[in-house]
Amino acid sequence: MEELTLQVKGSSSDPYELTFIKDGASLTALCTCPAGSFGNSCKHRVAVLDGDAAAVLDDDKGKVSAVVGWLPGTDVESALQAMRDIEAAPDATKEAKVAAKKKLARAMNS
């Protein structure tokens, strides 16, 4: 099992903490932001999984590539791709987009 913790800037004055845990083919992604604390998908985890280190505090920016390297072959990867596909579909309903985000949140929290 491998674990990485990153600090990210958010709407709070204090940074949020992201924790990524890789255990075999399982990837867990947790965030202390309000959305993440309630088990919902959050932009902080998705940004890091997309390789975007813009909100990551300087000391942790190098960890982003390690997390991205953990993604292939996980249920989080497939849920993230499914969400991206639905978001890109011009005829996707709001309900379909919400369902895809919930599926991603379940995958990241497991």
Q: Mean pLDDT in runs of 10 for the chain (110 residues)?
A: 93 91 93 91 93 90 94 94 94 93 92
Number of domains forming the structure of the chain: 1
E-strand stretches of 48-97: none
The pLDDT of residue 12 is 81
Q: What is the DSSP-derived secondary structure letter of residue 14? A: S
The pLDDT of residue 91 is 93
| Domain that includes residue 15, residue range | 2-109
E-strand stretches of the chain: 2-8, 16-23, 26-31
The pLDDT of residue 60 is 87
